[in-house]
Amino acid sequence: MSTTDTGPSTNSGPVNEDLFAGPGEEPAEGTVYTVMGGDWDEVVKEQVERGDERMVVNMGPQHPSTHGVLRVILELDGETVTELRSSIGHLHTGIEKNMEYRTWTQGVAFCTRMDYVMPLHNELAYCLSVEKLLDIEDQITDRAKIIRVMMAEWMRIASHLVALGTGGMELGATTMMTIGFREREKIMDFFEAVTGLRMNHAYIRPGGVANDLPDHGLQLLKDTLTSIKKQMPEFGKLASKNPIVRSRLIGVGHLDLSACMALGVTGPMLRSAGYDYDLRKAMPYCGYSDYDFDVPVRDEADGYARFLNRIDEMWESVKIIDQCVTKLEATQGEPVMIDDPKIAWPAKLSIGSDGQGNSNEYLKHIMGQSMESLIHHFKLVTEGFRVPPGQAYVPTESAKGELGAHVVSDGGTRPFRVHFRDPSFHHLQALPALSEGGFIADVVVNIATLDPVLGGVDR
């Protein structure tokens, strides 16, 4: 363990050699103490003689509340944080670069793995930008849009349950974690029934969605909705009335509206500072303008306001899903993929009896009834479709804030460049503003209210 003030190092005190300097680097100023065995007494003696209580410690590179691998470097004066720096890159996956070597549709299987707590939001942002480049936005079927909205709102609830549950556990309210994940499991079961997977679904595709709801999908949707409605009040009361949660969050991690605007903060954090900006209202996509819902706003701008805002947003998502049920009943049997054989990949896919893969009817058609269908399917899968040259960016309101994909095409069958505007990456910039001047114990609280997922940061 090290007590650090950047400079030369030895087991028993300072020397004139900087053991941590790279080749050709100048020795750092100050003193570094590397403590081994029984050297603590000598280190304490040296520190007392200096009269300097400054300490630099590492929190991480893995720590609770980050949903990934984050290193936070803290400079402390006693228990007070005087300086904080986030060190990212420990979870780098190269997803954006890899997408340049895959077809446009295959790119969905990559970007869904970025923010793995809300994969369907990643897929939606990417597909909307690709569809804008293809100029097929007005050709997406109504049923496909309804399913996209329904899945996105379930994803919002699931993501918030993780944020609130793990955040509560870090504060000492462990029951919030068990209840939050219990409810999230029901949503994961619904996702598995529809897409074949619990996460990283690759379900939303350019042109629509991979497949319609299964035969029992609508009833399962209603049952899941009923169960969530019944249990969520318990979770809300536990979170908002818990004295531990209140004492650890009220007045902690204050970030006012001007700071949010300067740092590019969006989503629940921005709305907890008093600005009712929600892209589902400001720049509607997927038919959100046809849904009746409110945008929860608070102006306390502290950790508790961000906590309560997420609870309120879950109820608004439930309200939207309720409306989706009615719309899905009215559009049963309608297509869920664009009627363009040059884009609709995989064509008329339906889930097999095992819950995964193509149905036997589809395989029978392309393998035994139509040589043209087989050839066309083979070319779509291996080569992909071409996208006209240009670039597009469509912002969406994900569970964490503004999420968009900037896609660039050179006219080929794969992206020339894809870059995501991930809210977690922007929100980590706010961590020093939230934490400096506060206590070290509040750093974890501030990370929890940011709700960062490092897969989206290090994409």
Rounded average pLDDT over 392-421: 94
Q: How confident is the model at residue 3 (pLDDT cuts 50, 70, 90)?
A: very low
Rounded average pLDDT over 423-430: 91
Considering the domain architecture, whether residues 272 and 165 belong to the same structural domain is answered as yes
In the predicted model, is pLDDT for residue 312 greater than 80?
yes
Q: How confident is the model at residue 360 (pLDDT cuts 50, 70, 90)?
A: low
Considering the domain architecture, whether residues 130 and 5 belong to the same structural domain is answered as no
In a domain, 77, yes or no: no
In the predicted model, is pLDDT for residue 361 greater than 90?
no
Considering the domain architecture, whether residues 174 and 27 belong to the same structural domain is answered as no
Determine the pLDDT at residue 2: 41
Phi, psi of 43 (to 5 degrees): -65, -45
Considering the domain architecture, whether residues 195 and 323 belong to the same structural domain is answered as yes
Q: Mind listing the pLDDT tens digit for each residue in 273-287?
A: 999 999 999 999 999
In a domain, 374, yes or no: no
Q: Which domain holds residue 193?
A: 95-345+384-433+442-452
Q: Mind listing the pLDDT tens digit for each residue in 202-249?
A: 999 999 998 889 888 999 999 999 999 998 888 778 777 778 888 888
Considering the domain architecture, whether residues 44 and 113 belong to the same structural domain is answered as no
Determine the pLDDT at residue 7: 40
Percent of residues in the chain assigned helix, strand, coil, to nearest 5:
50, 15, 40
Sign of CA dihedral 266, 269, 271, 275: negative
Q: Mind listing the pLDDT tens digit for each residue in 108-117?
A: 999 999 989 9
User: In terms of C-beta density within 10 A (0-12 exposed, 13-18 middle, 19 or more buried), how is residue 78 classed?
Assistant: exposed
In the predicted model, is pLDDT for residue 254 greater than 80?
yes
Question: Which residue reads 């984050």 in tokens?
Answer: 70
Considering the domain architecture, whether residues 188 and 256 belong to the same structural domain is answered as yes
In the predicted model, is pLDDT for residue 65 greater than 60?
yes
**Which run of H or of E encompasses 325?**
helix 303-330
Q: Mind listing the pLDDT tens digit for each residue in 84-93?
A: 888 888 888 8
In a domain, 325, yes or no: yes
* Paired tokens of 79: 């228990």
Q: For all residues of the chain together, what is the average pLDDT?
A: 84
Is there a contact between 414 and 430 (Cβ–Cβ < 8 Å)?
no
Number of domains in the chain: 2
Nearest to 183 by CA among 230, 233, 240, 228: 228
Q: Lay out the sheet containing 31-34: strands in order across.
A: 31-34, 2-5, 54-59, 71-77, 80-87
Residue 171 sits in a domain whose CATH number is 1.10.645.10
Least confident piece of the model among 12-16, 61-65, 217-221, 428-432: 12-16
In the predicted model, is pLDDT for residue 382 greater than 90?
no
Considering the domain architecture, whether residues 241 and 165 belong to the same structural domain is answered as yes
Determine the pLDDT at residue 236: 78
Q: Mind listing the pLDDT tens digit for each residue in 127-185?
A: 999 999 999 999 999 999 999 999 999 999 999 999 988 888 888 778 888 888 999 99
Q: Look at strands 31-34 and 2-5 and give their pairing.
A: antiparallel
Q: How confident is the model at residue 11 (pLDDT cuts 50, 70, 90)?
A: very low
Helix (H, G, I), strand (E, B) or coil at 458: coil
Considering the domain architecture, whether residues 120 and 44 belong to the same structural domain is answered as no
Considering the domain architecture, whether residues 119 and 28 belong to the same structural domain is answered as no
Cα–chain-centroid distance for residue 288?
A: 21
In a domain, 47, yes or no: yes
Considering the domain architecture, whether residues 111 and 42 belong to the same structural domain is answered as no
The last residue of a domain, from among 21, 36, 52: 52
Considering the domain architecture, whether residues 318 and 429 belong to the same structural domain is answered as yes
Nearest to 449 by CA among 270, 188, 314, 181: 270
Determine the pLDDT at residue 292: 95
* Paired tokens of 55: 């300490």
Q: How confident is the model at residue 352 (pLDDT cuts 50, 70, 90)?
A: low
Considering the domain architecture, whether residues 137 and 285 belong to the same structural domain is answered as yes
In the predicted model, is pLDDT for residue 398 greater than 70?
yes
In the predicted model, is pLDDT for residue 332 greater than 80?
yes
In a domain, 58, yes or no: no
In the predicted model, is pLDDT for residue 347 greater than 50?
no
CA neighbours within 13 Å on the CB side: how many for 233? 4
In a domain, 111, yes or no: yes
User: Taking the chain, what is the end-to-end CA distance rounded to the nearest angstrom?
Assistant: 31
In a domain, 14, yes or no: yes
In a domain, 69, yes or no: no
In the predicted model, is pLDDT for residue 96 greater than 60?
yes
Q: Mind listing the pLDDT tens digit for each residue in 16-56?
A: 456 666 677 776 666 666 656 555 567 667 666 665 667 77
